[in-house]
Amino acid sequence: MKELNRILFSVKHHFLYTTFALVLLFTVPATALSFQFVDDAGKTIVILKPPTRVVSLVPSITEILYKIGAGDAVKAVTYHDIYPAENAAKQIVGGYFSPSLDVIEAAKPDLIFHSDLHKGVQERFSNSHFPLVELRTKSMADSRKKILLLGKIFKKEKEAQNLVQSINDQLQTIAAKVKKIPPEKRQRVIRLMGRSTVMTPGDDSFQNEMIRAAGGIPPQLGRKGAVVNISKEEWVKFNPQVIYGCGGDRETANAFFNRPGWKEVDAVKNGHIFYFPCELTCRAATHTGYFVSWLSSMIYSELFSKKAFQVLDEKILRTRKIDLNLNYVKDARIIYSTINDFLNKTLVIDFTQPLRIVSTLEGERTGIQSVGNHYSPPPCWAIEHHAGLAQSRSRVYNVLQMSADTSSFLFTGADMDHLTIIRKQFKDMEVYALVTAGVKSNALRMGKDEGRYYEPGTINIILLSNMKLTPRAMTRAIITATEAKTAALMDLDVRSSVTPRRYQATGTGTDNILVVQGTGNSVKLAGGHSKMGELIARAAYQGVVEAVSKQNGLVTARSIFQRLRDRKITVYELVSEAQCDCMAKKGQATIALEEILMEPRYAGFVQTAFALSDNYQRGLINDLSSYQLWCQTVAEEIAGREIPQFRDLVTDENIPVPLKMSLNALLNGISFRDAP
pLDDT for 455 beyond 50 = no
Contacts of 656 (CB under 8 A, 6+ apart): 501, 502, 613, 614, 616, 617
The pLDDT score that the predictor gives to residue 83 is 72
452 has pLDDT over 70: no
Q: Do 467 and 429 meet the contact criterion of CB atoms below 8 Å apart?
A: yes
- How many CB atoms are closer than 10 A to CB 271? 8
Q: Is the pLDDT of residue 481 over 60?
A: yes
Give the model's pLDDT for residue 582.
52
Name the pTM for this structure: 0.89
Instruction: State pLDDT tens for residues 142-183.
Output: 999 999 999 999 999 999 999 999 999 999 999 999 999 999
User: What pairs with residue 523 in β-bridges?
Assistant: 469
Q: What is the pLDDT of residues 230-287, one digit of tens each?
A: 999 999 999 999 999 998 899 999 999 999 999 999 999 999 999 998 889 998 999 9
412: left (phi over 0), alpha (psi -120 to 50) or beta: beta
List CB contacts of 145: < 8 A, sequence separation 6 or more.
Answer: none
Q: What is the mean pLDDT of residues 648-673?
A: 92
Q: Which residues pair with 44 in a beta bridge?
A: 38
Closest CA to 263 of 284, 221, 295, 235: 235
> Pairing relation of β-strands 459-465 and 512-516?
parallel
pLDDT band at 444 (very low <50, low <70, confident <90, very high): low
Judged against a pLDDT cut of 70, whether residue 29 lies above it is answered with: no
Residue 27 has pLDDT above 50, yes or no: no
Q: Are 484 and 428 in contact (CB under 8 A)?
A: no
Instruction: Please count the helices (runs of H) and the strands (runs of E) in the chain.
Output: 24, 25
What share of the chain in percent tops pLDDT 90?
77
Side-chain-side CA neighbours of 637 within 13 Å: the count stands at 12
> Residue 323: which residues within 8 A CB-CB, separation 6 or more?
332
pLDDT at 16 over 50: no
- For the segment 646-662, the average pLDDT, to the nearest whole number, is 92
Q: Minimal CA–CA distance to 375: which of 482, 458, 274?
A: 458
Element (H, E) at 512: strand 512-516
